[in-house]
Amino acid sequence: MVYRLSLPLCGFLFLGLISLVGCSPSATKPGVASGSSGGQDGAAKEKARTVASESSPRSSLEALREGKPAAEGPLKEVYFDYDKYDLRADARETLKASAAWLKSNPSARVEVEGHCDERGTNEYNLALGAKRAQAARDYLVTLGIPTQRLSTISYGKELPVCREGTEACWQKNRRDRFAVQSAKPTS
């Protein structure tokens, strides 16, 4: 009886081990996006990733993992009023400049990061950050940027740039940040 139970169990474990050995290393590497390569070989893909990461700001989460501040890029942050996700006049002007840059760099893809200050629950701030990122994305689309080039993510209150309990600090945290995912210089 024990032999019958052990054989299927051993077979299952063996198949599991074989499937793990067969996985590609890039499938388990954190922070690497998957997608079609358009015929590039591995070295060319790695070079393209390196060039993109050197020429553009990394995401706020990647910067946190590395223990460094998120790099500034060609697209400036926009800020929001307390408990709001509608775009202020100054944010619209900043986004117009961002749209102009995106139009002159047609291969650039951007992740819009929504951030909040520390007040409110995690769930509420994640939802508010998502609405803030979506508001900026929607406005960029109205300015002629294709939706395929824009993605959104909410970090809520989890990645503040300022940690003091003051209104001036909270204002710095109520923002959308724009991380350029890939960009090739125009010639």
Cβ–Cβ under 8 Å, residues 75 and 178? yes
Q: Does residue 88 surpass a pLDDT of 60?
A: yes
* Domain extent listing, the chain: 74-187
Q: Does residue 36 surpass a pLDDT of 60?
A: no
pLDDT in tens, 144-158: 999 999 999 999 999
Predicted local confidence at residue 28, as pLDDT: 30
Predicted local confidence at residue 57, as pLDDT: 53
Mean pLDDT of 130-136: 98
Q: Of 181, 33, 178, which is closest to residue 115 (Cα–Cα)?
A: 178
Q: How far apart are CA 8 and CA 2, in angstroms?
A: 11
Residues 74-187: name the CATH superfamily: OmpA-like domain (3.30.1330.60)
Mean pLDDT of 71-82: 92
Predicted local confidence at residue 42, as pLDDT: 45
Q: Does residue 79 surpass a pLDDT of 90?
A: yes
**30's tokens:** 């954190």
- Strands, E assignment, the chain: 78-79, 109-115, 150-156, 175-182
